[in-house]
Amino acid sequence: MPDIQFDENEKPMYERYWKLTRAPFSGNPGPETFFPAATHQATWLKLRYLLDQRSGMAWLAGLPGVGKSTLLDLAKQETQSRGGVVASVLPSCSEPEELLRSLLADQATDDERAKLNDLPRDALWRCLDFVLTENTRGGRPTVLVIDDAELANPANFFPWLHQLLNLQRPGDCDFVVLGSGTLQMLGDFRRWEQLTNRTAFQCLIRPFDEQETADYIEHRLHLAGAARNPFAEDAVRAIHTLTEGIARRVDRLCDFALLVAFAENAVEITAPLIHAVAREIDPFAKAA
């Protein structure tokens, strides 16, 4: 591997070398980088349906890094473009009162937010009911987002979620609940029949297959203004094998590969370089 010298005037250094308008694989992916792989596109259609209905619940499950948060961000963006309200739950909150306060905080003024800490649980539930009802009567679609739900304490979280759904009253208190978590979390969720019976969709987000990995790399390069794809076919196959088609891993590997290839003045990124970069990122990983 080359000894890479960092130049503060080039952020990142390889953009000019590869004739890019921005770094194609760095940063947190957002709605603007959404790639419609098979399960991602199918899930997005289901989420759009729920947003149109303005009521119901959907859960997204999958390995870390497959794109669950990006889909939730798409739903947030779509809701806001319709003049709706988005509120997020912090699943790391351990007590029901904290879960309620985190949900209300997104919909409160600074003065109201300061008062939430003094309210007991029953009063918090009444406040939430009032806010959601007012949103419905005002024609403002409301989406409640619970990302990384595996961080929650199941003993508190699932009863709390059940009580939250009990606030729904068609035409009077309508809202959509969108959650995401690991496969283990979804397994715990499915043991609560009261919740699964009220869930419109349970969506499994799968990693990319090999062709989707190739198309995803092309997609990200195109968004960054690339005139050509510097990754050779054998490099793309190596990327898919090493990352197992998980988008976050693809981003990390491709980003570093562009940097290393720039440092070596390479005109093409090949499989041997990809394997060398992968060893540099994680020297303890099992060789593919």
Integer CA distances (angstroms), 40 to 37, 107, 131, in order: 5, 29, 32
Closest CA relative to residue 181, chosen from 215, 204, 158, 155: 204
Task: Give the C-alpha separation, 79 to 73, whole Å.
Answer: 10
Structure tokens at 259: 């940097």
Lowest mean pLDDT among 26-30, 42-46, 164-168: 26-30
Which residue has better confidence, 201 or 286? 201
Tens digit of each residue's pLDDT (9 = 90 or more) over 82-100: 999 999 888 877 678 888 8
Task: Give the C-alpha separation, 151 to 24, whole Å.
Answer: 30
- The alpha-carbon radius of gyration of the chain (Å, integer) is 22
Q: What are the DSSP E strand ranges found in 81-130?
A: 85-88
Instruction: Fill in the amino acid letter for 2.
Output: P
Q: What pLDDT, on the 0 to 100 scale, is given for residue 286? A: 58
Closest CA relative to residue 285, chosen from 249, 251, 261, 234: 249
Task: Give the C-alpha separation, 164 to 55, whole Å.
Answer: 13
> pTM here?
0.89
Note if the bond before 64 is cis, omega within 30 degrees.
Answer: no
Calculate mean pLDDT across residues 163-183.
Answer: 94
Report yes or no: 31 and 77 within 8 Å, Cβ to Cβ: yes
Instruction: Using CB atoms within 10 Å of the CB of residue 187, give its burial: 0 to 12 exposed, 13 to 18 middle, 19+ buried.
Output: exposed
The set of residues, in sequence order, having a beta carbon less than 8 Å from that of 213 and lying 6+ positions away, is 236, 239, 240, 243, 245, 250
Q: What pLDDT, on the 0 to 100 scale, is given for residue 285? A: 67
| Strand order across the 201-204 sheet | 85-88, 142-146, 176-181, 56-61, 201-204
Task: Give the C-alpha separation, 67 to 262, whole Å.
Answer: 28
Q: What pLDDT, on the 0 to 100 scale, is given for residue 14? A: 86
Structure tokens at 175: 């809202």
For the chain, what's the residue count? 288
Closest CA relative to residue 195, chosen from 148, 149, 130: 149
Calculate mean pLDDT across residues 148-155.
Answer: 89
First and final CA of the chain: distance in angstroms?
19
Task: Give the C-alpha separation, 130 to 138, whole Å.
Answer: 12
User: 3-class SS at 18?
Assistant: coil
pLDDT at 264 over 90: yes
Q: What pLDDT, on the 0 to 100 scale, is given for residue 180? A: 96
Tens digit of each residue's pLDDT (9 = 90 or more) over 103-117: 888 777 777 778 888
pLDDT at 190 over 70: yes
Residue 86 phi, psi dihedral angles, 5° rounding: -120, 130
Closest CA relative to residue 185, chosen from 218, 149, 221: 149
Task: Give the C-alpha separation, 208 to 194, whole Å.
Answer: 33
CB-side neighbour CA atoms (13 Å) of 72: 28
Q: Which domains does the chain have, with CATH numbers?
A: 35-204 (3.40.50.300), 208-281 (1.10.8)
Name the percent of the chain lying above pLDDT 70: 94
pLDDT at 8 over 50: no
Calculate mean pLDDT across residues 7-23.
Answer: 76
